[in-house]
A and B are shown apart, each in its own frame.
Chain A
Amino acid sequence: MLYIIFKEFSQSKKMILLSLIFGSLFIVALTSGTEENLMVGRFVLMIAFMVVMTNEHNEDKNKGYSLMRTLPLKQYKIVIGKFTASFILILLGGLYTFIIIKIKSMSTGLSTDMVTTIINSVSTTLLFIGIFYILLYKFGSGIAINISRVVFFIVFFSPGLMNIINEKFNFDIPFMSMITEINIFNSIVLFVVSIVFYQLCMLVSMKFFRNFQNV
């Protein structure tokens, strides 16, 4: 299982490096104004989306799952390996965002809002990737990647879209206040819930993986 995690990182070295460079610019650009831009947390979703989708596209192209099935490895360990690798990537994405912002705001100090934004982004990304793997093992990579693209753009731009709708049309989106109300307690609760949900997704994925054959 450990080797699957190494494999994931080793295969996506270039993509991770590219995402980190691009991510640094993204975070610095968004935090260069006087006001805090809470969109910076979206970097976590972006890096996970880019790396996981590229890896799964490569697995599909090279029939990687067929290769892994020939190895002396229980099938559920392949799924655990994939989920663990993505989990580590998401946490690293969160940590990287935190470090960049911390360096950037050395003089002004880091606000609680910014910390909760990062935690919320990590949680959202866990939910997103968890559901992606279920779709992948249930319907195959083609359908899963296409659905994920659409969901990614919706999630990525949702805070902005919701604000526009709210301001322009004065329309109250249900639960909007709950979503926009940032506090550390809500974030930690959401984080714990997302970890539990992620593990549930892993269990469901294991079930689907038994029938997922691309040999």
Chain B
Amino acid sequence: MSNSILKVNNLRKKYSEFTLKDVSFELPRGYIMGLIGPNGAGKSTTIKLIMNLLKSNGGEVEIFGLNYKNNEEEIKNRIGYVGEEQIFYEDMSVAWTEKFISQYYKKWDKEYFNSLLSKFKVSKTKKIKELSKGMKVKLGIALALARHPELLILDEPTSGLDPVIRKEILDILLEVIQDENKSVLFSSHITEDIEKIADYVTYIINGKIVLSQEKENILTNWKKISLKKNLVDQEIKRLMIGIEENYFGITGITKNYSKIKNIFSLKNINDGIKISNATLDEILISLVREEE
């Protein structure tokens, strides 16, 4: 991938009960990347390391071709970050929060911020503690967008929100990406959201990147296959992952569909097979099963 806005190279973080193992991926300019994984897979740790909120045990993060060692202020000035938890001073008002945060950003757009607040129906005079969870996420997004970031990093922003607000937030992200110079890194365990908006998908399971590709490639190459019991053989089983056995046969997914197709044609098998495109959710479940 050339023209990468974000490069993560062999990033490591060790905790007593969890380790992020050599995470590497790249996000090109102008695209949305979805970081998918189950709870506790390491999505938030990866994002916090990218944001330099945690100290890594190794590896490198390069954003806009710069590293944090000498360019922390410059990098953070060009990033819009919305964390998994909306951290604000609860006793202060929305207006105070804007005033405090805006002072740090060179490109702060007060008018745009006000227009976003009106759109989201968030009152500036309200105290943060008076806002609902969804309102706080919207405020977080407005604060992140009003600085006109080149890279927007969102850590599970839609988690725990109702479908109406989730859709509104996804629509905003799609609006943002209309500007081809902007990129979005978006983590979620709700694959439906990622499927709607992402161009690239990265699966992270047990602190390890298990798959990172263009979404269209993943959805085209990964197939869900159901086979009748009498057709199952070890060769086919070896090419499938996340295999679930039941009374009628097996169901699993594969990225080696062409190989399985060859086996079927060699063995002259036409009946008892059901093939469909795998969803991001099914791929996630199968990859998790495989890891376990």
Give A contacts to B, CB under 8 Å. Answer: 3, 7, 10-11, 58, 61-64, 66-67, 69-75, 210-211, 213, 215
Instruction: For chain B, residues 75 to 109, give those with C-beta under 8 angstroms from any C-beta of chain A.
Output: 75-77, 81, 83, 85, 87-92, 96, 100-101, 103-105
Please measure, in the bound complex, the distance between the C-alpha atom of A209 and the C-alpha atom of B52, giving whole angstroms: 14
CB neighbours (8 Å) of A211 from chain B are 55
CB neighbours (8 Å) of A210 from chain B are 55
Shortest A95–chain B CB gap in Å is: 27
Any A CB within 8 A of the CB of B266: no
Any A CB within 8 A of the CB of B74: yes
Given A71-B76, A215-B54, also A66-B87 (CB < 8 A)? yes
Instruction: For chain B, residues 44 to 80, give those with C-beta under 8 angstroms from any C-beta of chain A.
Output: 48, 51-55, 72-77
Please measure, in the bound complex, the distance between the C-alpha atom of A79 and the C-alpha atom of B77, giving whole angstroms: 20
**Residue contact B87 to A72, C-beta cutoff 8 Å:** no
Give the contact-size bracket for chain B.
20 to 34
**Residue contact B51 to A213, C-beta cutoff 8 Å:** no
CB neighbours (8 Å) of A64 from chain B are 87, 89
CB neighbours (8 Å) of A67 from chain B are 87-89
Give B contacts to A, CB under 8 Å. Answer: 48, 51-55, 72-77, 81, 83, 85, 87-92, 96, 100-101, 103-105
CB neighbours (8 Å) of B105 from chain A are 72
Given A70-B51, A71-B104, A215-B54, also A62-B76 (CB < 8 A)? no
**Residue contact B92 to A70, C-beta cutoff 8 Å:** no
Please measure, in the bound complex, the distance between the C-alpha atom of A215 and the C-alpha atom of B101, giving whole angstroms: 18
CB neighbours (8 Å) of A11 from chain B are 89, 91-92
Which residue of B53, B91, B92 contacts A69 across the interface (Cβ within 8 Å)? B53
**Residue contact B53 to A3, C-beta cutoff 8 Å:** no
Please measure, in the bound complex, the distance between the C-alpha atom of A132 and the C-alpha atom of B90, giving whole angstroms: 24
Which residue of A58, A66, A73, A213 contacts B104 across the interface (Cβ within 8 Å)? A73
Most buried by A among B72, B100, B105: B100
CB neighbours (8 Å) of A66 from chain B are 53, 83, 87
The 4 closest A-B pairs by CB, nearest first: A72-B76, A72-B77, A72-B73, A67-B87
CB neighbours (8 Å) of B54 from chain A are 213, 215
**Residue contact B87 to A3, C-beta cutoff 8 Å:** no
Please measure, in the bound complex, the distance between the C-alpha atom of A66 and the C-alpha atom of B76, giving whole angstroms: 14
Please measure, in the bound complex, the distance between the C-alpha atom of A87 and the C-alpha atom of B74, giving whole angstroms: 29
Given A72-B104, A73-B104, also A58-B74 (CB < 8 A)? no
**Residue contact A58 to B73, C-beta cutoff 8 Å:** no
CB neighbours (8 Å) of A10 from chain B are 96
